[in-house]
Amino acid sequence: DTGVSQDPRHKITKRGQNVTFRCDPISEHNRLYWYRQTLGQGPEFLTYFQNEAQLEKSRLLSDRFSAERPKGSFSTLEIQRTEQGDSAMYLCASSQGTTPTDTQYFGPGTRLTVL
């Protein structure tokens, strides 16, 4: 069991650049979630997929953010025209079941710094 993996672990970019993060969930997990965590705060939900379908998006997910899970396996989160306020830890989680109480397994996160 390799757990949830995320790549890269760290990303430094200049304001206005585009960035893309990748998440590989635990094999055969149906649901995949993205969260954002800023300093001193708990993670905040961004969006989630069930298989390849994106079922819910938070109001936090502005038009500059897009997420995909094309084959129901790995997922990518892209941020276009990055802003300094996008600096945060981006977390991915996956779960096997389809209910709210199914355990979500988290990856180590991608830390984004926008200069």
Partner 1 sequence: AQSVTQLDSHVSVSEGTPVLLRCNYSSSYSPSLFWYVQHPNKGLQLLLKYTSAATLVKGINGFEAEFKKSETSFHLTKPSAHMSDAAEYFCVVTLGGYSTLTFGKGTMLLVSP
Binding interface with partner 1 (CB under 8 A): 3-4, 31, 40-45, 48, 55-56, 58, 91, 93, 99-101, 103-109
Our CB check for partner 1 shows the closer of 84 and 99 to be 99
Least distance in angstroms from the C-beta of 29 to partner 1: 13
Our CB check for partner 1 shows the closer of 57 and 73 to be 57
Nearest-angstrom CA–CA distance, 52 and 70: 6
Our CB check for partner 1 shows the closer of 27 and 41 to be 41
Residue 58's Cβ-count burial label (10 Å; 0-12, 13-18, 19+) is: middle
